[in-house]
Structures are given as C-alpha cells and as structure tokens.
A and B are shown apart, each in its own frame.
Chain A
C-alpha cells in the first residue's frame, strides 16, 4: 500500500491523526504558546533595556537594592537571595523533567513524587519573590525626593556608611495628621504619612554637619556620587518630600522607572510561576487519580513540563538582565 501513492493514502493524509512534525497537536500548541509568550517577555526586557540606556548614568545599582537575606538582619548580602531563588527554580525544573522521564516508563508513583517536589519548589519560589517584593516596598534607609523628582540619599561623611532617615531626623512639632475619609468634607483620604516628615529630616540634616547626600548620578566607577557638605546643603533646599521604600510613583533607591519595571517584569514572571503551580497541582491530582494510567500515556505531564521549563528559562534571563548586568 505504502509504495503506491494513490487515493488510498490521500484519504489517510486528510483523515486526521497525522503528525507531519512527529509532535502531537497539544505539544505543538504548547510550543507555539511558549514562542509567543517568550516574545512578550522579550518585549518587557527590551523595554527595560531601552529605559536603562536612556538613563544609563542614573540607573539604580541592583547590588545596592537587593541586599537582604532571611534571618540575616543588617547583613549586606547582595545577590545571595536571588541566587538561592534561581537554584530553587532550576531544581524544580530538574524534578519536573524527572517526572516526565518517569512518565515515559509509566511509573505512576515516581511521577507523583516528582510532581509533588516540583510543586513545592514552585511554591518556595513564589514565596521568596513575595518576600523580595515586601523588602523592596518597605525600603531600608529612606530618602528625600527633590522638586525634579530625583532622589537624595544620606551618607555619613566620616565613615561613608549609608544613614537611615530615622537615625538623624529631629522631632519637630507638627499638627499634620494622616487625612482619613471620615474627617474630610468629602470621602477622600490619603496614603499613610512617612514615619518622619520632610521638616524633621531637614532639621536633622542641619543639626548634624557630618551628614552629606549622594545623588542618582553614577561616577566613573559606577557608584552614586557623594556631594560635599556645601553642595549637599544646596541640594537639600530642593527637597520636597520623604520617600520610604518603593512603589509605582516613588522609589527611594533612585529612578522610579526601575521600580516600575521591577514590579512589572518580576510580577509578570511570578504570575506565570503561580499559574504553573496551579496547573501542576491539577496534573498532580490527575496522576494520583490514575487518569493518565488509563489513558495509556503521560503526555499531559510532558506538556505542563514544557510550560514549567519555560518559566525557568525566562527567570534565567530576568536574573541576568535585572540583577547581574
């Protein structure tokens, strides 16, 4: 039959169940989704690069922003935490591919175990990211923002150490209170006031002659420029508000676009990890229920595996472009 290319085979070609690229429909569509999602992520990362090139001389230094490690308070630990997160994700990728491998051999108990490990790894990663976000939003030292929207951070002129605004702010009597909805003439309110007002920070700055400021501008070595006391005083006249931590509008670490991109890129990736964990849980229960045993193959595990590896793949790039480069 096969040698003669006649009507018989043509019916077979268009009759369905044909795999010209030796991939099943489901797997191929998962791949095409991954390609389009990869382009979405590259759009994000390239936009980050665009903004960074635009403000190349004032872009915050990731090493100085992400310095926390759980249970090590006040210890300067750049990168270690992200490195830990990267390992968690790579390892959960390994357990995922082991699950796929076990699925090829129809070993149900092994697939179950490896899927469970993958889910745990994913959950640890999402939790770590939440912790990283919490630290970033909370901030560490605090800073003041000038009229131009630029940030001034405080440094001890003698030691060169960073100073938190709480270290030197001088209490100034003020009747200013957080405006809440039940007190106004109309039902609007404001977000909570910073722990120290701009007047307190300015008074503290004037009382301590050994405090200088540093600006966003990076010097030849890629460090933020520390100004002299006279220049610092000049600059402090422009200060209009206290910034603690980072959000979409203000960022104590420097350029606010940095915070925006951090929230959008790691947030979008974290959302992918979260959905990956949810899908993995569904597949995990299907494995336990024996759905794929009955079906005769574990291809569903392979498909979610592709998605899971893709999430890992994206993280490899986010890690490089956000934290390393």
Chain B
C-alpha cells in the first residue's frame, strides 16, 4: 500500500479495449485462415506465429495492467517474470524437439500406426 492510488479506471477500460480487439482479430484470423499466412517461417506457419505473439501481448497487458505488475518494484517484478521467461521456453524447446524426433522415428517405418 506504499504507492498513492489515483483512480485507474481509464487505464482499465483502455486495456479492456486492447484485449478485446486482439481477441477479435485472433478469432477472425482463426476462421478465415488467410492463404497468405500459411507460409512457413522458422518451421512454423506465419499464422501461428501471429497467434503466439498476440497471446504474449495479451499476457503482457493482463499481468502489467490488471495484475498491476507495472506498479511493483522492479526487483519484485522480475523475480516473478524472469523464472517463467527462462523455464517455460526451455521446457517447450526440449519437449517439442523430442516430440518431433519421435514423430520422425514413427514415420520412418519402425512403427505402423495405421492398419
């Protein structure tokens, strides 16, 4: 309760607007699936990259504005965000590479899955 509390309602509604617009864009893209976004960039469709980036933008606004991380001390903020930023991509990288490897083993004929 250290910091002074002026009313944040304007900021809250702005963030709500941003989150709504992003969600609408995501749903629209998910339904239309534009042909131009099907090309692969770094092994993934552009469309999926857009989805993931938009999700991270949404997560940023929820954590910073709604959960009020922007008002916390920097040291506290990073003690929360950094472990997640390091561990989650690490875990995802390892398991997705492994999943891809197992897929290759399956598809090279050691296992028949469809009979």
Task: Using CB atoms and an 8 Å cutoff, list the residues of chain A in contact with chain B.
Answer: 19, 21-24, 28, 31-32, 34-35, 38-39, 42-43, 46-47, 49-58, 63, 78-80, 83, 86-87, 90-91, 93-94, 96-98, 100-101, 104-105, 146-148, 150, 215-217, 238, 297, 299, 305-306, 309-310, 312-313, 316-317, 319-320, 323-325
A-B contact number at CB 8 A? 155
B88-115 Cβ-contact flags toward A at 8 Å (1 or 0): 1001100110111011001100001111
Listed by A's residue number, 28 A-B pairs whose Cβ atoms lie within 8 Å are: A21-B79, A22-B76, A23-B72, A32-B80, A34-B80, A39-B84, A46-B92, A53-B100, A54-B102, A56-B103, A63-B30, A80-B27, A83-B23, A87-B23, A93-B62, A94-B13, A94-B66, A101-B7, A105-B7, A148-B115, A215-B114, A216-B114, A238-B115, A309-B62, A316-B55, A323-B30, A324-B51, A325-B48
Determine the interface band of chain B, counting residues with CB < 8 A from chain A.
35 or more
> Known: A50-B98, A55-B103, A313-B62. Is A101-B113 also a contact (CB below 8 A)?
no
Give chain A residues whose Cβ lies under 8 Å from the Cβ of B98: 50
Task: Using CB atoms and an 8 Å cutoff, list the residues of chain B in contact with chain A.
Answer: 1-3, 5, 7-9, 12-13, 16, 19-20, 23-24, 26-27, 29-31, 48, 51-52, 54-55, 58-59, 62-63, 65-68, 72-73, 75-76, 79-80, 83-84, 87-88, 91-92, 95-96, 98-100, 102-103, 106-107, 112-115
Give chain B residues whose Cβ lies under 8 Å from the Cβ of A83: 23-24, 27
Contact B59–A52 (Cβ < 8 Å): no
Contact B76–A50 (Cβ < 8 Å): no
Please report the C-alpha to C-alpha distance between residue A52 and residue B98 in the assembled complex, in whole angstroms: 11
Please list the 6 inter-chain residue pairs (A to B) with the smallest Cβ-Cβ separation, ordered nearest first: A53-B99, A104-B5, A21-B76, A50-B99, A50-B95, A320-B55
Give chain B residues whose Cβ lies under 8 Å from the Cβ of A316: 55, 58-59, 62
